Amino acid sequence: MSGEKAKEKRIRRVNVLALLFITVCACAVSYLAGHMWFQIIFTCLLFGLMAVLGFAKTGLGFMAVYLICHLWLQINLNLGLRFPSPMTFSFIIELVPILMPVYLLVQAPSGKLTAGLRQLPLPTRVTLTVIVILRFMPSVMAEFADVKDAMRIRGFLRSPFQVLRHPLNTMEYVIVPMVFRSLIIADELASSCIVRGIENPCKKQGYYLNQMHPGDGVLMAGALIITVLFAVL
C-alpha cells in the first residue's frame, strides 16, 4: 500500500499541462516520425517516464503490446499474410505511444487536470469535453472488465481461436452492453454535474493549484526537442 501512496504522490507533483504537452508530442511523433526507430525510441522514453512516476508494470504492458504488434506486423509483411490485417497492427502501433501519456493524465487527480485546463485560453466547453472524456476512461475500462466476465461466463471467449473465427460476433457482444452502459453512465454523470452547478458561468477556482516546477519545464523542453528532431529528421 505504501508503494501505491508513493506513486500517487509522484503523479500529484507533476504539472498536468506537462503531461498534456507530452500527449500532444506523442501524437506528433506517432504520426509524423520519419523512421520507425524514432517512434520506438520515443515509446521507450515514455515507458521510462511511466516507470519513474511509478507505473512500470502498466508501462511494461503497453510496451509488450507495442513490441508484439511490431513483430507480428513484420512477420505478416515478410510472409505476405493478410490476416490479421496489417492495418490493425499499424493502428495499434500508432495508438500505444499516445495512450501511455493519456494513462498518466488519467492517474492525476481530475480536479488538478481541471485546474490545469482552466489555465489555458480554451473555451469552457472544450475544457469540459476533455475532462469528461478522461473521467469516462476508467469507467469504460471497469465496464469492459464486467462485460468480459459476462462473456466468459456465457462461453463467448472460450478460446482465442473462437474469437478469431467469429470476430464480428465477439465485437457485437462487447459493443452492445458497452454502448448501453456508457449511455446510462453518461446520463447519470451529466445530471450529477448539472445539479452541482457545472453550468454556472462564474469565474472558477479549484481545490488544487497546478503549479509549474523546474522539473515540469525540463520534461516539456525535453519532449519538445525530441519531437522536433524525430518529426523533422
Partner 1 sequence: MQTVIEIKNLSFAYEGVKEQLKNINLTVLKGEVVVLTGPSGGGKSTLTRVINGLVPYFYEGMLTGDVLLMGKKLSDIPSWERGRYVGNVFQDPRSQFFANEVAGEIAFGCENYGMNHKEIMESVEHTARELKIADILDEKVRFLSYGMRQRVAIASARAMDPLIYVMDEPSANLDMKAAQNLAEILLGLKREGKTIFIAEHRLHYLQDIADRIIYLRDGEIAAEFLPREAAALAAGHRGQLGLRSMTLENLPVLPDTADSEQDALLEVRGLNKAFGRHCVADDLTFSCRPGEVIAVVGPNAAGKSTLGKMLAGLMKEDSGEVSFAKRKLKASGRRGLIWYIMQDLDSQLFGEDLMNELLTGQKRTPEREERAKAILASLNLVEFMEQHPMTLSGGQKQRLALGVALMNESPVIILDEPTSGLDGKNMQNVSRQIRLLAKQGHIILMITHDIECALSTCSRALHLQDGRLADDFKIESAGQLLAVMR
Binding residues for partner 1 (CB under 8 A): 1, 8, 12, 106, 109-112, 114, 135, 138-139, 142-143, 146-147, 149-150, 152-156, 172-173, 176-177, 180-181, 184-185, 188-209
Q: Which three cell numbers stand for residue 97?
A: 505511444
Nearer to partner 1, 72 or 148 (CB): 148
Question: Which residues have CB under 8 Å from 66's CB, separation 6+?
Answer: 43, 92, 93, 96, 97
Burial label, 72 (beta-carbon count in 10 A; 0-12, 13-18, 19+):
middle
- Nearest distance in Å: CB 83, partner 1: 24
DSSP assignment of 53-114 equals: TT-HHHHHHHHHHHHHHHHHHHHHHHHT--SS-HHHHHHHHHHHHHHHHHHHHHHS-HHHHH
**Minimum distance from CB of 230 to partner 1 (Å)?**
32
Nearer to partner 1, 20 or 93 (CB): 20
Phi first, then psi: what are they for 122, rounded to 5°?
-115, 145
Nearest residue (CB) to partner 1, 38 versus 173: 173
CB of 99 to partner 1, least distance (A): 17
Compare residues 66 and 143 and give the one whose CB is closer to partner 1: 143
Cell of 21: 504537452
Contacts of 200 (CB under 8 A, 6+ apart): none
Q: How far is the CB of 148 from partner 1 (least distance, A)?
A: 9
Q: Which is nearer to partner 1, 209 or 233 (CB)?
A: 209
Q: Nearest approach, Cβ of 102 to partner 1 (angstroms)?
A: 14
Q: Residue 37 or residue 180: which is nearer to partner 1 going by CB?
A: 180
The least CB distance from residue 90 to partner 1, in Å, is 30
* Exposure class string for 35-69: b at 16+ Cβ within 10 A, else e: eeebbbebbebbbebbeebbbeebbeebbeebeeb
